[in-house]
Amino acid sequence: MLRELTVKHCSFPLVAPFRIARGVKHAAEVVLVELEQGGATGRGESVPYARYGESVDSVMAQLESVRAEVAGGMGREELQARLPAGAARNALDSALWDLEARLTSVPVWAGLARPSPLPLTSAITIGIDTPQRMGEEAARLAGAGPANVLIKIKLDAHEPMARIRAVRRAAPNARMIVDPNESWNIDLLRDLQSELESAGVELVEQPLPADADEALLNFVPRVPVCADESCHVAADLPRLHGRYQAVNIKLDKTGGLTEAWRLLRSARAEGFRIMVGCMVCSSVGIAPALEVAREAEFIDLDGPLWLKDDYADGVHLRHGLLVPPQPGFWGA
């Protein structure tokens, strides 16, 4: 039976500008894939990322290039060989997982031999701003959720400790991870070790540029360092030993849930700690990532919380926990 492929560009305005070291975002620009077969429709979403040479147009072109193969029944394993890891493959891979679950009436979590989804503790991100405003946002988060809320602080090389200290003063019991998004160098990272440890930072995410992370070889950090831009797929793991203690699994980097599971298993076997993250996206993009997140020590899936209008039956925050989408939303 032929499948019908629909590819759409969707734009979701944000509740506030989201600023990181490499720029500011005002809307989530996503690519939505829908696969219709036998009266069932599977959905998948991805976020094209300029850092990896992607755009909405390039991702949509990649998807159009496999339209005939998709219509003819291309499966997830064939897709891994047909498209490279990245946003296009993620959207299609996620849609294939969803479609298969609907056609077989076997939820994705059951097919993976996992229990049904439960609420999870996710980091809530504070974008780059003045120390005062970042402290105010931290106080708001600590007041709205549990006192030990997990806060992720976006940073650049400008006054990082002033921002970290402001957040710590405002939320003294919060758990904290920081993400410089490749904006530091090894000297700054080395100089900040004692202060990062004293501030209670639990993880430093991708401090150095991915193409300069050889400087991490034989560096012994006081706070574990996590590979984000340096880790896309399982084949990347060998070069990460001696540089990183953790890896951040994002479906837009792995090219979908299929490779994300491979990366998860391989990283665990090789002794890396696991973080599962996301781009700023809707709940359609988060739903498949939740299947991997249950295996992670650090979860950062607050992307939909930045949207003015997410799907009504998507994820939401309740008492500081990220509640999965309603049954039937994705993969069920």
Residue tagged active-site, from 8, 154, 250, 308: 250
The two beta strands, 316-318 and 40-46, are unpaired
- The answer to whether the annotation marks 291 as part of a ligand binding site is no
Strand partners, 14: 307
Residue 25 annotated as catalytic: no
* Contact predicate 177/276, CB 8 Å: no
- The answer to whether the annotation marks 100 as part of a ligand binding site is no
Cβ neighbors of 106 (< 8 A, separation 6 or more) are none
The C-alpha atoms of residue 117 and residue 213 are separated, in whole angstroms, by: 36
Cβ neighbors of 314 (< 8 A, separation 6 or more) are 282, 283, 284, 286, 287, 304, 325, 326, 329
Residue 8 annotated as catalytic: no
Strand partners, 265: none
For the chain, the maximum distance between any two Cα atoms, rounded to a whole number of angstroms, is 61
- What is the token pair recorded at 154? 């976006």
- The answer to whether the annotation marks 228 as part of a ligand binding site is yes
- What is the token pair recorded at 131? 């120390």
| N residues, the chain | 332
The C-alpha atoms of residue 187 and residue 87 are separated, in whole angstroms, by: 33
Residue tagged active-site, from 152, 154, 253, 308: 152
Question: Which residues carry a binding-site annotation?
Answer: 179, 205, 228
Question: Which residues carry a binding-site annotation for Mg(2+)?
Answer: 179, 205, 228
> Hey, which residues are catalytic here?
152, 250
